[in-house]
Structure 1
Amino acid sequence: MLRVSFASAAAPGRANEDYVLAGPSWVVLLDGATPAPGVDAGCDHGVPWLVRTLAAALVPGLEGGAPLPEALEAAITATMAAHGGSCDLAAPGSPSATVALARRRGDLLDYLVLCDSPVALWRRDGRVTVVRDDRLDQLPGGRPYSLELVNAMRNRPGGFWVASACPRAAREALSGAVPVRELRGAALFTDGVTRLAEWYGRAWESLVAGAAEPERLLAEVREQELARGVPRGKLHDDATAAWVSFPPG
């Protein structure tokens, strides 16, 4: 059993493309990627549809005890089928999402991370282990990346991997398990929240400790964005934080 609390806020003036879904023993956090202006998405469903559909498709594997990479691979495959024959899933801007998963399995907490929505494990000795897939940060040439580079390196060996129209991406995710007895809790974040640590200097230990009150983290993000600006990209992003704890019983 898990206790999950979360907060999610859209970037002002836009639809929220983050998504959270939780069950008795698991939580899913997804961050949909907004297509760049002028990029052919090949799909009329949109990013909010993708994250809702992918989250729902994860449930059978999560409930059935499948290893998390297998559950994600099956969910990507099912989501591809749900597009129907009218969508061009080979289009360079086809909808995609990052994935962060946590599931209690007996005395273990399973976790999975695909792309830049991390899972942070807060251990009882005070240490924080941040499971973060940083391959998007390692593309050649340094930021800002061109659209051509991102399209060429998405879901490719030597590039980065996201949940889109490539089931193999699930096998490239970072996954593992840790004994529940070693943990105070775990936090899942989209990159709209991790900018507090990556851009604004908040220690990861402080960020994870604050995840138990996720609404406050989201308010702090907006305050920092307005006060200090951003080093790159859009001023505001969708922001989601989820906190996982382990009630007795």
Structure 2
Amino acid sequence: MSEVAPDRRPPTAFNEDLVLTGPDFAVVLDGASAPPGVDSGCLHDVAWLVKRLAVELAPPLLAQSAEPMTDLLAETIAAVRASHADTCDLSNPDSPSSTVSMIRLHPDRVEHLVLADSPVVMRSPAGQITVHSDDRIAELPDRSREATRRSRNQPGGFWVASTDPKAAYEAVVGSTDRADIDVIAILSDGASRFAERYGHSWEELLDVLTTAGPRRLIDLVREHDAVTTTNRKQYDDASVVLLQGP
């Protein structure tokens, strides 16, 4: 059984996350655009990029391609790059970008790929929780805008899906025996902040998801968002894919 809950950040009228699911796969994309007033060098907004990534990823996933997920993602980024290479400055490090987190189900195993800060969380039948995450952006010694800009898609920095297909091969990837999993959650960081920012455990997060559903988790996140005193982004788009059962 799978459940999906996307939610735009208040008070915006649009959502820069995108969820893509099929019979044996699920993908969460979380778009990131340049700050206001910064020239991205691109005629397109981040919503366009996220949709194009989904459009290119969907056919091979639906066709059950046997290619490694890193190859599928690299080919996807290359195709999106080619689609606007003639109109946009793709050398600009502020070009629109996106996280990519996906799982692919096989009869005996589950593959995962995580590029940037949208984790995949798995729970075993015995209750053991494993968090597959890519927190390189959080580990940057300097999180200023200019330092982050210099570190994007660079060795020693962090990697996102944008204009460089090589980023796909920097993703966190792995495979888990299917018998060792009874719950999978894929979360954009607007939803995973329930554990990563607001002090709840991953056990609590999965308990909310499995007993009350993704919508309830996002409602709880919004309650925290409303009273947070952090100087980081108060609200963010939040998306959750929950898979549980056989």
Q: Which moved more, 1:132-141 or 1:94-103?
A: 132-141
Deviations 1:177-222 (A, max 9, x none): 1111111120001111111112211110111232340000110011
Q: Does 1:70 align with 2:71?
A: yes
Deviations 1:81-112 (A, max 9, x none): 12241011111210100011011022111100
**Alignment correspondent of 1:162:** 160
Where does the alignment leave 5 or more consecutive residues of structure 2 unmatched? none
Q: Does 1:216 align with 2:195?
A: no
Report the TM-score when normalising by structure 1: 0.93
Aligned partners of 1:81, 1:246: CA distance in 2, in Å? 40
Q: Which moved more, 1:238-247 or 1:128-137?
A: 238-247
CA contact (8 A) 1:73 1:171 kept: yes
Where does the alignment leave 5 or more consecutive residues of structure 1 unmatched? none
* Paired letter, 1:225: D
CA contact (8 A) 2:121 2:132 kept: yes
* Paired letter, 1:44: L
CA contact (8 A) 1:40 1:92 kept: no
Report the TM-score when normalising by structure 2: 0.94
Aligned partners of 1:35, 1:204: CA distance in 2, in Å? 30
* Paired letter, 1:168: K
Match of residue 196, structure 1, among 182, 194, 197? 194
**Alignment correspondent of 1:101:** 102
Q: Per-residue deviation at 1:146?
A: 1.9
Q: Per-residue deviation at 1:168?
A: 0.6
Q: Which moved more, 1:197-206 or 1:109-118?
A: 197-206
Task: State how many pairs are aligned.
Answer: 241
**Alignment correspondent of 2:18:** 19
Runs of 4+ in 1 over 4 A off after TM superposition: none
CA contact (8 A) 2:111 2:173 kept: yes
Q: Does 1:28 align with 2:23?
A: no
Q: Per-residue deviation at 1:230?
A: 4.3
Q: What secondary structure, in the 3-state scheme, does the structure 2 residue paired with 1:103 have?
A: strand
CA contact (8 A) 1:102 1:112 kept: yes
